[in-house]
Structure 1
């Protein structure tokens, strides 16, 4: 048997990541030789790479398999979450085209950075040891710092990039310190090895390591109390970058958290469960109350994303198969709601100027009735009003929490949902009952595609929930 026959089967589980890595190197060379004339070609090439990787992920059906000496795992959970990450990244490129052209910052580096960050996210989702996890996380983080400050002539954008970099470096250090403690007290970085080492119980060093790891992942998810970067970075970054941060990296961070705590630490659930119960309650509460007074729609969406992470973490706190299924369903629906909302936000342009406040949506139902209807559907769904998809997302995580005996957590989730409905419904009121402002320009084709697909998922989920619920159930079962 020759070397190729040995290496190719070993690397087959990582084929989507290899496709993206080889493809992005080709795009870098193409962009370097062609300069700014390569922008359109690099954008199309990046989309083709992401779609090709998505088809590869979907085609990797079968049992759980590991490679790279057990550091990389492919199972039902990784396949579903990778598919969501790839869809979110492709949507970010579609959302960015018209915006960057109009702002005259249309450079070929942006889609390349999106693909690089996507590779990092996919490694995070499939990481089966602490080193692979950290490598994926840092590849995502370094790319994210750059695209946050992508509009380098804009003071708010450069400030957002700097804040994200400083606080992100701090959180990476905390996570790395926690990982080193876990390694020091278990003698292994492998998740199955850590699981075996903890069969005899966890000492103080392990507990401290778990706390630091939880702090690190909470920052990446923008969960309270490590949410402080989110409103400023969301508001300061270019709007397509904000849409990207709110979608794909959020999903990857939640998937990474589930992978670490359900893959390596299920035998010490009593230790970390209370951490995530607190984080979930704090995130839901702050997300609901802090968004009430916001006038900037991007800051409002930042606090909304903090609250939504809290709801998703209810499923993780349940620490059960039903809970993880709820997390996966929640992130599927959250992706559709977020991308749809940002497609409308990016369409708020008149006379070459972007508008970003809630009041700028006044009377949208009379000037752009279809756009207003779709955004209203997103807001009702985010508020959890049936029969839209957001209601079912919350239903599954609340049901899992009640089944796990976390009744108080579920009740707090319901109460904060009612409070949070105020600022979502306020947007609907502004669109349908306030006096209209001057109409906005026609939506760009990329925005229309993203808005249409998101609206179909959000509005029609209740008619055919079985495929998504079944995929989420298979993803959850693969972890148990």
Structure 2
């Protein structure tokens, strides 16, 4: 039997997850001991935990590939970048929720605990190197997400959102499990490297069926069409900070999981799954762009916007190349900044303890809150893909990768749907700058200002200093090929 100290180094790739796991148990015990009075302390503790875990992730080697737990868990440049995004999204969710939950009188210690548990699941999804680890991470993330969707127990819409998310989420998990079992049955292994060896460029009918079911399961988690049906209702019904969380961190983890499965386990049968993601990308971009046009609720509009944005990101995956994955990673970095910035502004639309969520409530914002209107206009222009803001470059890199991979039609459809989507983004700018102003909103909470400032810096200044984010995306993509 080897000495104990010989096994310790193999747990080094798990350090961020171990920090969160041990820390969340301490927070649960403290919350149970102190009761509702502990909400503030637990929120601060959870935020510190997430930031410490982020430091641990950033401290890991920038190059190289390390596996542990018998190869079930992998740490590389891709996991480093995507885990950082997950942790930033989760940290921002706690900051965004602080003032909102206090005012709504639902400030309970369980929320930050659930966010941390959800984050552990997402980080396992990002680093999963076999089908079992993937499913364990997915379920840990999903079970916590179902609860926080219904966190406002006295609100019918929130309860309905949680129930709808749970029922449809259970269905998607079943599809993912069935697809995984087929792949295991026909290859004899759950390990991604083992699946690559077993397939050996051959994909029989059973493997193809398994790939289809796995793709259906991951598309639900990404809220890609045709598995998007839960997104608008859950986004609208959940408390707004929860909606911001769903639009940010879980999206990063779901896209990472999809890349791990199809680039990590199925690279030799790209021709099989490429058709699936070309179709999913096209219908996601089209539905997200057209369905958002008639929306009056800004939260539902952001739901359809997220569907369209996943469609654009999947162009990078459909390319099946290193350039495509580089474009996808960069797209997700910029999408995270745009989303968090937009929701920071949505959460600031409060007047006499009443939250406003209609697009029309932004009327004349440029005259009552000029800086707020400027930042939201920057977010909308960026989401529309208008240069020189970051959103333009996000789309440019995935479109360029698609053209290089021979998917010219897919890139053209992406450009056309971007033009359609620009209508509802520019409509918001028109309402803010040209409609008659309404009564002033209350001053932004400090936490919202921090999130908005950081997001605005990324969106506006990316064109000036693009290298750090581009280099991170390039290293992440290179580690997978």
TM range (shorter): over 0.9
Q: CA deviation at 1:200?
A: 4.6
In structure 2, the partner of 1:326 is: 327
Which runs of structure 2 are paired with 1:13-28 in the superposition (5 Å)? 13-28=13-28
2:282 equivalent to 1:307: no
SS in 2 for 1:180: helix
Deviation, 1:6, is 2.2
Counterpart CA distance in 2 for 1:373 and 1:260 is: 40
Superposed counterparts of 1:151-230, under 5 Å: 151-230=152-231
* Structure 1 CA distance for aligned equivalents of residues 319 and 326 of structure 2: 11
Q: How many residues align?
A: 480
Q: Is the 8 A contact 2:201 2:268 kept in 1?
A: no
The 5 Å alignment of 1:362-377 reads 362-377=363-378
Deviation at 1:57, TM superposition (A): 0.4
Verify: 1:50 aligned to 2:50, yes or no: yes
SS at match of 2:462: helix
Look up the match of 1:240.
241
Could you tell me how far 1:446 is from its partner in structure 2? 0.6
The CA deviation string for residues 164-218 of structure 1, in whole angstroms up to 9 with x for no partner, is 0000000000000000000000000000000000105011000000000000000
**1:221-271 Cα shifts (integer Å, max 9, x gaps):** 000000000000000000000000000001100010001000000000000
Match of 2:351 in 1: 350
Alpha-carbon deviation of 1:135?
0.1
Greater shift, 4-13 or 104-113, is seen at 4-13
Distance 1:296 1:187 in 2: 49
* Rounded Cα–Cα distance in structure 1 between residues aligned with 2:312 and 2:158: 29
CA distance in structure 1 between the partners assigned to 2:208 and 2:368 by the alignment:
57
Which residue of 2 is the match for residue 31 of structure 1? 31
Alpha-carbon offset, residue 376 of structure 1: 0.3
CA distances 1:282-334 after superposition (whole Å, capped 9, x unpaired): 00000000000000000000000000000000000000000000000000000
CA distance in 2: counterparts of 1:216 and 1:54, whole angstroms: 28
Q: Which residue of 2 aligns with 1:4?
A: 4
The answer to which of 57-66 and 303-312 deviates more is: 57-66
Other-structure match for 1:429: 430
- Select between 100-109 and 200-209 the one with higher mean Cα deviation: 200-209
CA–CA distance in structure 1, aligned partners of residues 169 and 2 of structure 2: 44
Query: SS at 1:292's partner residue?
Result: coil
Other-structure match for 1:138:
139
- Secondary structure of the structure 1 residue equivalent to 2:448: helix
The residue aligned with 2:99 is 98
Where do residues 268-283 of structure 1 align in structure 2 (5 Å cutoff)? 268-283=269-284
User: Which aligned pairs between 1:410-429 and structure 2 lie closer than 5 A?
Assistant: 410-429=411-430
CA distance in 2, matches of 1:411, 1:428: 26
Aligned to 2:74, the other structure's residue is in SS state: strand
CA separation in 2, counterparts of 1:36 and 1:368?
35
Q: CA RMSD in A?
A: 0.7
Post-superposition offset of 1:7: 2.7
Q: Measure, in 2, the Cα distance between the counterparts of 1:374 and 1:229.
A: 29
State the shift of 1:402 in Å. Answer: 0.2
**How far did 1:384 drift?**
0.1
Structure 2 CA distance for aligned equivalents of residues 362 and 351 of structure 1? 18
Partners of 2:365 and 2:230 in 1: CA distance:
31
Task: For residue 4 of structure 1, report the CA deviation from its aligned partner.
Answer: 3.2
Measured in 1, the distance between the counterparts of 2:420 and 2:256 equals 27
Instruction: Give the secondary structure class of the aligned counterpart of 2:221.
Output: helix
Spell out, residue by residue over 1:117-160, the C-alpha distance to the aligned partner (whole angstroms, 9 max, x if none): 00000000000000000000000000000000000000000000
In the other structure, the counterpart of 2:462 is 461
Give the Cα–Cα distance (whole angstroms) in 2 for the partners of residues 294 and 285 of structure 1.
Answer: 15
Q: Distance in 1 between matches of 2:312 and 2:7?
A: 42
For 2:425 and 2:98, how far apart are their aligned partners in 1? 28
Deviation at 1:2, TM superposition (A): 6.3
Segment drifting more, 221-230 vs 199-208: 199-208
TM-score by length of 1: 0.99
Given that residues 201 and 269 in structure 2 are in contact (C-alpha distance below 8 angstroms), is that contact kept between their aligned partners in structure 1?
no
Structure 1: how far apart are the matches of 2:7 and 2:47? 28
Question: What is the CA distance between 1:63 and its match in structure 2?
Answer: 1.1
Matched, 1:85 2:82: no
CA distance in 1, matches of 2:85, 2:443: 28
Q: Helix, strand or coil for the counterpart of 1:462?
A: coil
Q: Is the CA contact (8 Å cut-off) linking 2:89 and 2:336 kept in structure 1?
A: yes
Matched position secondary structure for 1:153:
coil
Deviation at 1:10, TM superposition (A): 1.2
